[in-house]
Structure 1
Amino acid sequence: MQKSPIANYNLIRSTDIEETRERVGKLLWPHRMRLRSSEKWVNTRLDGVFIGDIALIYIHYGTPVTIDPGQISDYYLIQTTLSGNSRVSNGRREMDTGVGLTTVVSPSEATRIFMDQRCSHMILRVRRDALERCLMEQLDRSFTAPPVFELALSHDTPVGAAWFQTLQFLSRQYNAGGECLRAPIVQRQFAELAIGQLLNTHRHSYSDRLLRGARVALPWHVRRARDYIEDHLGEIITLAQLSREVGVSARTLQSGFQRFLEQTPSDYIRDRRLARAHNALRCAAPGSVSVTEVLVALGINNPGRFANYYRRRYGCLPSETLAHD
């Protein structure tokens, strides 16, 4: 077993299977855990540091296990194998991993992870809404489907080597720095470093558009319409009203959105409401708000249809996001 790079932040030590399943599930994500039929024990160690929109997690079970979380709707998992071997499947893709390889698990695909008895993983868990927000800011536009990353990231490549060095840097900082690194501004900058590096170096489904988007500025009428939408999401916004507010014809506005944002104004409005609703439901304190209240505040007058769009986007219903522990 490779020594934990963040050993000063131990959260779980356990030899009990049920305790391991329950506590790891609460800290990271709900999942099913299966052992080989002959095994009756685990030797679990989990260390973790929570840094704003990201978390550094070291995990070792000490016995062969299969972890089956299904579709992890709220997080991207960037898993680096420190010792032993594992097999990671994400959707239809599968990869055998060992030392020198990182896998990037995307939330829109069902996931399964097998770890042998020597296997230890260093995981960077990234909040999906934070990554998508960063991507949207860089693209200067919305998008309809979550980014899907290439599964494998080899440390023999420049991109993979740079990522591993960043992981080591963050681990060393927190293992040595202690309380002085808990300031929100420090956590925000570290999270932005990791998310920005991942988006701009490891290939994903929006990489080509990200390169094009860096060179194409939005025309003034599209930018003004987008800003108006952002400020009035809780109101009814029609195409006719939006074109009057911007000062161009409906046809010009439609054409601008299709050309530069690759979607209609209506689709853009729906996507922004989806993102705003998801963030509000995920961040709500227990018992502080209902799904209906969130949807009404966003001007959503057909909750059933919106729930279908929400499930397609996030893999669960709005009520399930609100109830998430």
Structure 2
Amino acid sequence: MQSRSYRSDSLPEGNRILNSEWSRHRVSVQHGQSLRLRFSIRSITPAMSVSSLCYGAQAVVRPEERANVLLVQMPRAGFGLASFDDASTPMDAAHYALIDARSVAQVVYGREADMLVLRVAMERVNARLEEDLGYRPATPLSFARGMARGSPAWAAWEPVAAALAAVEASALADFPAPAMSALEGMVLSTLLLAQPHNHSEALLRPQPAIAPRHVRRAEEFIHANLRLAPATADIAAHAGVSTRALFDGFRRFLQTTPAAYVRAARLAAARADLQCGHGSVGDVAARWGFPHAGHFAVLYRRQYGEAPARTVRAHSCDS
């Protein structure tokens, strides 16, 4: 998984950097201001990357190439405004924006804007939608352009944003490919199931109940392959059902999603190791697919109500 970081105070150089990493576009800054570009990008899978972006000036970005990609812009500070032919979408710490690069006219960033940016190929999103629906939809996929704090979509996306931020900020040179494949799956499923779009009704329409034995087969497969962080598509294939049917079965019988079930099971395995003193918190976290110790601690506390270090101090296993 490649990771690259850049800094530049030169507008021409900044344009060259961003054009080489993303599709061709033109950045200009407000008269009298100077670019102070800070940009990093980390590949998650060939179809997906996460970046940190700050122009350090009031900047206007206009596309010169209509790449078939979706940008989820998540400001950590400052503000921005994405403009389309029919409307504009604001961006700040309480409003994220989903920008289809094929239809955006321009994006304006405030001087203090500091963005976490997910970039994903729409071809991959459409493939996942078709897989979950069980057929190819007749109309192109189109997401609602905004995601506001307090909405159901924001609540569902919040742990995904935290995971993306942890990966982007990590000092690790690389992550295991299965973990990144699982992250891609979590991103895609959350986008399609939580963020409103023109196929939401068809995707969320109740399906005939999956037989409990298929859910049990999926559970068995997850626990047998827990260290590999099995992807949802692999779990569904083993259970002999579509990913859509798998999601429906987990919602109906386990009140969770396959990705959340895998994460909870890996946290449970990590807890057992911590209770038995099988390594440091960092070692145990990495062993069970949580390479960023801080992110692991947040997830662990959320599930067990205590920090991993407290578990280590409070428990022990007999030799």
Deviation at 1:139, TM superposition (A): 0.9
What residue is the counterpart of 2:16 in the other structure?
A: 22
Q: Distance between the aligned counterparts of 2:30 and 2:89, measured in 1?
A: 20
Q: Distance in 1 between matches of 2:147 and 2:13?
A: 32
CA shift digits 1:252-277 (9 cap, x unpaired): xxxxxxxxxxxxxxxxxxxxxxxxxx
SS in 1 for 2:98: strand
Secondary structure at the aligned position of 2:205 is classed as: helix
Q: How is 1:133-282 mapped onto 2 (pairs within 5 angstroms)? A: 133-173=127-167, 175-176=169-170, 178-179=172-173, 181=175, 183-212=176-205, 214=207
Q: Which residue of 1 aligns with 2:73?
A: 79
Are the aligned partners of 1:70 and 1:112 in contact in 2 as well (CA < 8 Å)? no
Deviations along 1:133-167, one digit per CA (max 9) or x if unpaired, are 00000111112443111111012223213313311
Closer/same/farther in 2, CA of residues 106 and 177 from structure 1, 3 Å limit:
same
TM-superposed CA distance for 1:71, in Å, is 6.5
Contact 1:140 1:213 in 2 (8 A): no
Structure 1 unaligned spans of 5+: 1-7, 218-325
In the TM superposition, residue 12 of structure 1 has moved relative to its aligned partner by 1.2
- Aligned to 1:178, what secondary structure does the other structure show? coil
Corresponding residue for 2:92?
A: 98
Equivalent in the alignment of 1:44: 37
Report the more deviating stretch, 75-84 or 106-115: 106-115
1:209 to 1:158, Cα distance in 2 relative to 1, 3 A? closer
Deviations, residues 220-266 of structure 1 (Å, cap 9, x unaligned): xxxxxxxxxxxxxxxxxxxxxxxxxxxxxxxxxxxxxxxxxxxxxxx
Residue pair 1:72, 1:111 contacting (<8 A) in 2 also: no
What secondary structure sits across from 1:146 in the alignment? coil
* Higher alpha-carbon deviation: 151-160 or 124-133: 151-160
In the superposition, relative to structure 1, how do residues 114 and 214 fare at CA in structure 2: closer, same or farther (>3 Å)? farther
Would you say the 8 A contact 1:71–1:111 is kept in 2? Answer: no
1:131 paired residue number:
125
Structure 1 residues 27, 36: CA separation in 2 closer, same or farther (over 3 Å shift)?
Answer: same
Deviations 1:167-221 (A, max 9, x none): 112322453372451x33222111111011101100011111212384599xxxx
The count of aligned residue pairs is 208
1:230 aligned partner: none
- Equivalent in the alignment of 2:275: none
Which position in structure 2 is the counterpart of 1:229? none
Q: Report the CA distance between 1:26 and its aligned residue.
A: 1.3
In structure 2, distance between residues paired with 1:180 and 1:36: 37
Shift of the 177–192 alpha-carbon distance from structure 1 to 2, 3 Å rule, reads: farther
CA shift, 1:62, in A, is 0.5
Equivalent residues of 2:50, 2:168 under 8 A apart? no
1:119 equivalent to 2:119? Answer: no
In the alignment, the residues of structure 2 paired with residue 108 and residue 10 of structure 1 have an alpha-carbon distance, to the nearest angstrom, of 25
Amino acid at match of 1:178: L
Once residues 102 and 25 of structure 2 are traced to their aligned partners in structure 1, the CA distance between those partners, rounded to angstroms, is 16
Q: TM (normalized to structure 1)?
A: 0.59
Match for residue 55 of structure 1 among 35, 43, 49: 49
| CA root-mean-square deviation | 2.4
1:67 Cα deviation after fit: 0.4
2:97, 2:71 → 1: CA distance? 8
- Does structure 1 retain, via aligned residues, the 8 Å contact 2:82–2:104? no
Deviations 1:277-313 (A, max 9, x none): xxxxxxxxxxxxxxxxxxxxxxxxxxxxxxxxxxxxx
Tell me, in whole angstroms, the C-alpha distance in 2 between the residues paired with 1:34 and 1:176: 30
The percent identity for this pair of structures is: 16
User: Distance in 2 between the 1:27 and 1:199 partners?
Assistant: 26
* Alpha-carbon distance in structure 1 between the residues aligned to 2:206 and 2:96: 27
